[in-house]
Amino acid sequence: PRGGREERGEAQTGEGVTWLSRRPEEPVLLAELKPGRPQRYDWKSSCETWSVAFSPDGAWFAWSQGHCVVKLIPWPLEEAELCKTSERKSRGSKAEARSRGVAKEKTLECGQIVWGLAFSAWPVAEAGEADPACAVGLPCLILATGLNDGQIKVWEVQTGHLLFSLLGHQDVVRDLSFAPNGSLILVSASRDKTLRVWDLSRDGRQVQVLSGHVQWVYCCSISPDCSMLCSAAGEKSALLWSMRSYTLIRRLEGHQSSVVSCDFSPDSALLVTASYDACVIMWDPYTGEQLRTLRHVPLHSAVDYSSEVHTSSLRSVCFSPEGLYLATVADDRLLRIWALELRSPVAFAPMTNGLCCMYFPHGGFIATGTRDGHVQFWTAPRVLSSLKHLCRKALRTFLTTYQVLALPIPRKLKEFLTYRTF
């Protein structure tokens, strides 16, 4: 067959080829959506997209347009938008969609600049239960919005009804994260230097206030197994919390500048943090060990050491749904795709003023938000996970690092299961 491993871009460990079957293609821009003109809000209020979100089932996409407005868009985007065809064809497609009863775009007017977004499914109500969100027997989707005045407004997506206004934060609510297990536990991160835990199943009651940061909290992420919470602030360390006791587990120290973004792998076995120091650090959250550092080397300009924020300062990092890739957005106008086992990016795409990125829950796409209020949709590498990785992912979903190390299995297998074969 043509080409060796190097030409095909396969990754290799001591036991042979692991995951990649070929080098991924460069991300392609599929569509770019721009904010509408504000009506009764001042244009200067905000035009930055600090947060984008896909619903867990992949049926909806939300983005803050600036001007205190959130746009909800059914996914997938209409073919006319993805292919950027003529306006006439777009109108025709929309008319056809309406005739088929397809979900329509929605707009939520929040009254304040929107910084954070997070979706969650609302459990089906049983007969005899009073449910503020959904009719009995019907599941629904909710969206939490973190606002400039410290409020958190929670909306029912299908009707656009406001369900809760959560009060407690004293400054901007910068980020939001729902527990993935459907428990309706919501964590909020704020510029008031705290994180707050809310229980929407108990009428939005505030469960806990987490204090420990001394700077604005930029990001919060709950692990997929719902056991841990990571928070990133304008500090050189990230904090790891227990979601069971709401106590601090450890401080993750290793960055040389402010940590601004964090994300867990789908099996909760890895944690990545991104910093203004232009590095992503990959951690074992159970032991606190640094497994790998991914350095963002500028491709076309020198780093400006006169400022804390460098030309390659990171803004956002996220895992792909299968856990084999990372996406990062940096100030050097590049979207980078990283394979988990390699130290250099495997693909690049030029983008300007990127602030955030998120993978589509089923893979294949990445959404990015920009400083001018735009949102962009990119192709992402599609990969068929190896049986080895699927087994590891399944095991690590319920086994901690310490439990793996205690298993009576060969050392090399333990290293593989704990992601120490890079």
Instruction: Identify the pLDDT of residue 191.
Output: 96
Instruction: Identify the pLDDT of residue 125.
Output: 65
Structure tokens at 352: 């300007």
Instruction: Identify the pLDDT of residue 373.
Output: 86
CA distance linking residue 255 with residue 370, whole number of Å: 25
What 3-state DSSP class applies to 181?
A: coil
Q: What is the mean pLDDT of residues 401-408?
A: 97
The answer, yes or no, to whether residue 180 has pLDDT greater than 60, is yes
Instruction: Identify the pLDDT of residue 352.
Output: 84
* Mean per-residue pLDDT of the chain: 83
Q: Select the more confidently predicted residue: 95 or 55.
A: 55
pLDDT tens-digit map of 277-306? 999 999 999 999 999 999 988 765 433 434
Q: For residue 366, how many C-alpha atoms fall within 13 Å in the half-sphere facing its CB?
A: 31
Instruction: Identify the pLDDT of residue 147.
Output: 95
pTM of the prediction?
Answer: 0.85
The answer, yes or no, to whether residue 16 has pLDDT greater than 50, is no
Give the Cβ contact number of residue 348 at 10 Å.
13
Q: Which of 86-100, 134-148, 391-405 has the lowest mean pLDDT?
A: 86-100
CA distance linking residue 148 with residue 114, whole number of Å: 6
Cis peptide before 76 (omega within 30 of 0): yes
With bands split at pLDDT 50, 70 and 90, how would you rate the model's confidence at 37?
Answer: low
